Structure 1
């Protein structure tokens, strides 16, 4: 049995900077699939949805119609960036009467493990679209994605978007046209940056971004407690010690945390630990007992019970599914 891990004293004494900025700093994307396409009218394709995966489309040349799930289609044109956040199936087509085909049925050329190209269509007006599937790779990702709208559309040619975003998309377009040696690496890395920028712009501009967990992260007192949990999740936190971090009384802290986050501080701590545990189980070969100890649990059975209570499954089941998926 391990001994309780006392909270880092520096978290109780030192000032903490921008909590939301610190969370965003840790965000990174795991590329699942990127496809650079050259499409000539008439053309149409459908792409299945993938749970817990975001998709995006960047129009490099021409225009297209985009339908997300069962929503009303809308037109996108050169320079538009559209981020679909909740894994819905999408359809892209040259016009509303164009026949649709499944993406996997089309003549895709595999360039690398992550990057593919596609040329398809009836020989008419040409469009070039980059499509990608990406996964936010951070323990805060489930909470952030739960608050994101289904569709984020950005016109980077707006003055407010900034010249760097325009320049980045122009550079992606040039690399896509020429596909020089290493071009697929450049495209996928820059696409990651553009997707994260789309999320940051929504966070800074949308009224909907100032609610729930995001509003709590911006709060100067509750945000300090959230960052303390994130920095030292294995600590033996209590409402009292987190209230100290926030510089509040115990009762005022407990009430304000629950009001902003919609759950008590101890529940948030448990869920944060389980988000971390889920990642460790999927991405490492660490024994479950080691993961339990690293997250502050004094025994593996205690960790197993907490994991089952929060996630509805067991650590062993998550690990087995990951191994079976890797073998398949």
Structure 2
């Protein structure tokens, strides 16, 4: 399995489609900041508008896909950008809710959803910019992404059997395609995804993701990448301010946080799954990365579910 596939498979990604927004005339839709670990996204299916993030304003047109890795607050407006109040109409539509203005027809059509990664993928989220904005209109190289957008809309507005499973899998595919596009376009200069984009380092990261409990050393990482220890360390240093073993620890701690939140597995066994022979060693590493003990992290997760 390649490194990006291994990463996505290990993440326990959950995706959903929430709204289909269809507007005409003058409209303004503010979106508050999302909770940590939730990544809102918008796919523009028709028309044009303006997207505001802080003081930045940018065109928002058909074919655009915008993702907010840190859940930033933002506002969508009609194309001339003026603030306007409008009468909002909501109605169930298949598996989602349609939000529309009371105009007789729509000029702007956008699908709104969320990727849920939880708070445990800090290494991945740090690698992404505050706003990911892909403009795909008129580009043949985005044909697969276009087809996926259309299929997500189709499944979302239907009530067909199996639709939830289809949307969940399409969401994982959409997230993977977005990350793959960022890697291919070279827009990620640092962080985990920049390392995954490097053909020489990626095999070592894929090996760690696939088998985090293995006793990884710099020598073993270099061997996985078919490089000498010195060459691997030197090449890695040119790509990241983190050391190879720092990245191993971060990947293990991301996995540990997810296992603590999503499984009832005893803390000792979570530590073993992440490469730690003792609960004490695991607890020290976990607190160093996450700022709290594994037990406190799990209690916080249980409280959040209530």
Do the structures match in fold with TM over 0.5? Answer: yes
Distance 2:176 2:200 in 1: 26
Deviation digits for residues 234-291 of structure 1, max 9, x if unmatched? 1222233333334444444334333423222222222221111000011111111111
Shift of 1:213: 3.4
The one of 265, 288, 293 equivalent to 1:314 is 293
Q: Which position in structure 1 is the counterpart of 2:280?
A: 301
Any runs of at least 4 consecutive aligned residues in structure 1 with deviations exceeding 6 A, and if so which?
none
Q: Please identify, of 306-315 and 224-233, the stretch whose mean Cα deviation from structure 2 is larger.
A: 224-233
1:64 matches 2:45? no
Shift of 1:303: 1.0
1:120 aligns with 2:107: no
3-state SS, counterpart of residue 206 of structure 2: helix
Cα 1:78–1:21 shift into 2, 3 Å: same
Match of 2:123 in 1: 143
Q: Which deviations, in whole Å up to 9, do the C-alpha atoms of 1:120-153 show, x marking residues without a partner?
A: 32426513221111124797x5333323232322
**What secondary structure, in the 3-state scheme, does the structure 2 residue paired with 1:87 have?**
coil
Pick from 267, 289, 292 the counterpart of residue 246 of structure 2.
267
Q: What SS does the corresponding residue of 2:150 show, helix, strand or coil?
A: helix
Distance 2:272 2:57 in 1: 50
Structure 2: how far apart are the matches of 1:220 and 1:171?
Answer: 32
- Separation in 2, partners of 1:24, 1:156: 26
Equivalent residue number for residue 285 of structure 1: 264
Q: Distance in 2 between matches of 1:158 and 1:197?
A: 15
Output aligned runs, 1:217-256, within 5 Å. 217-256=196-235
Provide the TM-score with structure 1 as the length reference.
0.77
Cross-structure match for 2:38? 53
- In the alignment, which residue of structure 2 is the partner of 1:161? 142
> 1:318 and 1:100, CA in 2 relative to 1: closer, same or farther beyond 3 A?
farther
Partners of 2:66 and 2:171 in 1: how far apart?
12
TM normalised by structure 2 equals 0.82
Question: Contact 1:64–1:76 (CA<8 Å) still a contact in 2?
Answer: yes
2:56 is paired with a residue whose SS is: coil
In structure 2, do the counterparts of structure 1 residues 128 and 191 end up closer, same or farther at CA, with 3 Å as the change threshold? farther
Q: Mark the runs of 5 or more structure 1 residues left unpaired by the alignment.
A: 1-16
Equivalent of 1:134, from 115, 121, 129? 115
Asked if the contact 1:59–1:77 (Cα under 8 Å) also holds between the matched residues in 2, the reply is: yes
Matching of residues 13-32 of structure 1 within 5 Å? 18-20=2-4, 22-23=6-7, 29-31=13-15
Cα 1:41–1:218, aligned 2, differ >3 Å: closer, same or farther? Answer: closer
Please give the alpha-carbon distance, in whole angstroms, between the structure 1 residues aligned to 2:275 and 2:153: 47
How far apart, CA to CA, are the structure 2 residues paired with 1:226 and 1:167?
30
Q: How far does residue 302 in structure 1 lie from its aligned partner after superposition?
A: 1.6
Q: Which has the larger radius of gyration?
A: 1
Which digits, 9 at most, give the CA deviation of each residue in 1:48-103, with x for residues without a partner?
112232221122233322212x14223323333222332101211224224358xx
- State the Cα distance separating 1:168 from its structure 2 match: 3.4
Counterpart of 1:42 in structure 2 is 26
For residues 199 and 98 of structure 2, what CA distance do their matches in structure 1 show? 49
Q: 1:184 to 1:100 in 2, by over 3 A?
A: farther
